[in-house]
Structure 1
Amino acid sequence: MTATIEAPQAAADSLLVSRLRAMTVGSVALVSLLAFEALAVGTAMPTVARALDGLALYGIAFGGPFAAGVVAMVLSGAWCDSRGPRAPMWSGLAGFVAGLLLAGGATTMGMLVVGRIVQGFGFGLLSVALYVIVAQAYPEHLHRRIFAAFAAAWVVPSLVGPVVAGLVVEHFNL
């Protein structure tokens, strides 16, 4: 009779096994950053809209990114199906960052709205591609765990995002 050595089951059930560690940490960090932005904007937007004399565009500054994100999600799904998630992921990240830079440097409310819409489009591309990557890279028995980690990645931003945004608005005289 020969003895077999089996890997501990706990290691096989971990999101932090060596082949998944970087992807797990990076994905959860990305979700945290997306969450932080989404939650901080609500605190800063009234002050920013007043500072840019743009209260008339306040609604579109909030709703525009969501509408662009929905359109991007549909496009990202088709793109991921036809070519894989890599390009939509990187395009979404580039769009999100470009939108942040444009909105962050906005000198008019129109510029802020355009930046927010670009950012929302990037968010939509990213979110679908991220879920496709999970489906492709993680074994099925870990899907619930990584999705729970994504949900948990919203907790800290929900607690500190509005506070940090409020401090930025207050101390940077927006």
Structure 2
Amino acid sequence: MKLEVIMAGFGGQGIMLMGEILAHSAMLEGKEVSWIPSYGPEMRGGTANCMVVISDKRIPSPIISSPDVLVAMNKPSMEKFMPTVKKGGLTVLNMDLIDKVLEREDIEKVKVNAIKIADEIGNIKVANMVALGVVVGKTNIVKPETILKSIDYFLPEHRKSMFEINEKAFRRGLELGK
């Protein structure tokens, strides 16, 4: 088992946190993991992406050229990375910031209005957890309970009150992914 994931969007959308939570969860379950962040010229508003590799064997290289899964939280990210997704791969597309999807018939596309769903739940900042829920629901790469442990782990003390809304967003995405 090996899963290569690229998560991408604008800085400030929680792209790195989404990747860290996924990687940490896999690590808690005893899997081999790598996580590589990449920031554009500006942290907020610039581009941000991360690569997460999860495997039951040692990972020879953490660099991903052709991911199994792409999470694109905006149109520039979809345009940059969707052509690289492996045949038979999965894309999770945040349709709130993507007006037209690239044509590819050889991959599965899950279109989700992550920002709208997050807003309905109560805070647009949890759109990343909606997208993460879709990935976990589709791939079953880690257990949902482990993701929730990791969310709690990464929330600083002064943000612990955000756990419940993050959990709701994650579970909503999980439902969409199943």
What is the TM-score of this pair, normalised by structure 1? 0.25
Greater percentage in helix: 1
Greater gyration radius: 1
RCO higher in structure (CA 8 A, sep ≥6): 1
Greater percentage in strand: 2
What is the TM-score of this pair, normalised by structure 2? 0.25
